Structure 1
Amino acid sequence: MTKTNGLNASALRDRLQELAKREGIHQWDLGAACSDDCSVQVDRGEAKQLKAAQRSSITVRVWNGDGLVGITSTTDLSEAGLEKALTGAHEASRFGNPDDVPGFSPLATAPLPELDRPLKQRRGILPLLSTLREAEADLLARHPAINSVPYNGLAESLSQSLYLNSDGALREMQRTQASLYLYAKAEETGRKPRSSGAVRLALGSGDLDVSGCIEEAVERTVSHLAYRPIDTGSYRICFTPEAFLSLLGAFSSMLNARSVLDGVSLSRRESLGTSVAVPFLSLHDDGLHSGNIGAAAFDGEGTPTRRISLIEGGVLSNFLHSEATARAFGVAPTGHAGLGAKVSVGPDWFVVSTTEGVSSGHDLDHKTHQDPFVLIEDLSALHAGVKASQGSFSLPFDGWLVKGGERISVEAATVAGDIRTVLNSLLHLETESEVTPRGVSPHVWVDGLSITGEA
Structure 2
Amino acid sequence: MTPTTAAVTPSTATATATATADNAAASGLDAAALRGTLERLAASHGIRQWDLGASCSTDISVQVDRGEAKQMKGAQRSAITVRVWNDEGLVGVTSTSDLSDAGLETALVGARAASAFGNPDDTPAFSPLATAPLPELEQPLRPARPILRLLDTLQDAERQLLERHPAIGTVPYNGLAQRLSERLYLNSAGACRQQRLSTASLYLYARAEETGRKPRSAGAVRMAYGVDDLDVAGCIDEAAERTISHLDYGPIDTGRYTCVFTPEAFLDLIGAFSSLFNARAVLDGVSLSGRNAIGQPLAVPFLSIHDNGLHPGNIGAAAFDGEGTPTRPLALVEGGVLRHFLHSEATARAFGVEPTGHAGMGAKVSVSPDWFEVGPTPGSDGGQQGLDHRAPGQSDGPGLVVIDSLSALHAGVKASQGSFSLPFDGWLVRGGEARSIEAATVAGDIRQLLNAIVGFEGEAKITPDGLCPHVWVEDLSITGDA
Normalised to the residue count of structure 2, the TM-score between the two structures is 0.93
The answer for the alignment partner of 2:419 in structure 1 is: 392
Q: Deviations over 1:392-448 (max 9, x none)?
A: 000000000001111110001110000000001111122511111110011100011
Task: Quote how far apart the aligned CAs of 1:124 are.
Answer: 2.3
SS in 2 for 1:85: helix
The answer for the alignment partner of 1:137 in structure 2 is: 159
Task: Quote how far apart the aligned CAs of 1:166 are.
Answer: 0.1
Gaps of 5+ in 2: 1-23
Q: Deviations over 1:38-91 (max 9, x none)?
A: 100000111000000000111000000000000001112222111111000000
The answer for the alignment partner of 2:357 in structure 1 is: 335
Conserved 8 A contact 2:278-2:343: yes
Q: Which of the numbers 94, 98, 116 marks the counterpart of 2:138?
A: 116
Aligned counterparts of 2:447 and 2:167: Cα–Cα separation in 1: 41
Aligned counterparts of 1:165 and 1:4: Cα–Cα separation in 2: 24
Aligned counterparts of 1:204 and 1:283: Cα–Cα separation in 2: 29
* Counterpart residue identity of residue 433, structure 1: A
* Counterpart residue identity of residue 405, structure 1: G
Q: Which of the numbers 191, 194, 197 marks the counterpart of 2:213?
A: 191
Residue 346 in 1 paired to residue 371 in 2?
Answer: no
Conserved 8 A contact 1:394-1:414: yes
Q: Number of residue pairs matched? A: 454
Task: Quote how far apart the aligned CAs of 1:188 are.
Answer: 0.4
Conserved 8 A contact 2:252-2:438: yes
Aligned counterparts of 1:148 and 1:361: Cα–Cα separation in 2: 41
Conserved 8 A contact 1:363-1:428: no
Q: Post-superposition, which runs of at least 4 consecutive aligned residues in structure 1 deviate over 4 A?
A: none
The answer for the alignment partner of 2:463 in structure 1 is: 436
Q: Which of the numbers 399, 423, 426 marks the counterpart of 2:453?
A: 426
The answer for the alignment partner of 2:402 in structure 1 is: 375
Q: Deviations over 1:306-326 (max 9, x none)?
A: 001000100000000000000
SS in 2 for 1:21: helix
* Counterpart residue identity of residue 363, structure 1: G
Conserved 8 A contact 2:91-2:363: no
Residue 285 in 1 paired to residue 285 in 2?
Answer: no
Q: Deviations over 1:260-303 (max 9, x none)?
A: 00000000111110000000001110000000001011000000
SS in 1 for 2:292: helix
Percent of residue pairs bearing the same amino acid type: 69
Conserved 8 A contact 2:390-2:429: no
Aligned counterparts of 1:363 and 1:149: Cα–Cα separation in 2: 37
The answer for the alignment partner of 1:366 in structure 2 is: 389
Task: Quote how far apart the aligned CAs of 1:361 are.
Answer: 3.8
Task: Quote how far apart the aligned CAs of 1:7 are.
Answer: 1.8
The answer for the alignment partner of 2:438 in structure 1 is: 411
Q: Which of the numbers 196, 202, 221 marks the counterpart of 1:180?
A: 202
Write out aligned runs for 1:236-255 (5 A): 236-255=258-277
- Root-mean-square deviation (Å): 1.1
Conserved 8 A contact 1:321-1:334: yes
Task: Quote how far apart the aligned CAs of 1:3 are.
Answer: 7.1
Aligned counterparts of 2:113 and 2:212: Cα–Cα separation in 1: 66
Aligned counterparts of 1:200 and 1:148: Cα–Cα separation in 2: 19
* Counterpart residue identity of residue 406, structure 1: E
Q: Is the deviation greater in 364-373 or in 333-342?
A: 364-373
Aligned counterparts of 2:94 and 2:322: Cα–Cα separation in 1: 15
Task: Quote how far apart the aligned CAs of 1:156 are.
Answer: 0.3
Task: Quote how far apart the aligned CAs of 1:362 are.
Answer: 4.3
Write out aligned runs for 1:2-401 (5 A): 5-359=27-381, 360-368=383-391, 369-371=394-396, 372-401=399-428
* Counterpart residue identity of residue 405, structure 2: D
The answer for the alignment partner of 2:18 in structure 1 is: none
* Counterpart residue identity of residue 294, structure 1: G
The answer for the alignment partner of 2:8 in structure 1 is: none
Q: Deviations over 1:181-222 (max 9, x none)?
A: 000000100000100010000000110000000000000000
Aligned counterparts of 2:161 and 2:459: Cα–Cα separation in 1: 28
Gaps of 5+ in 1: none
SS in 1 for 2:238: helix
Aligned counterparts of 1:188 and 1:226: Cα–Cα separation in 2: 10
Q: Is the deviation greater in 429-438 or in 412-421?
A: 429-438
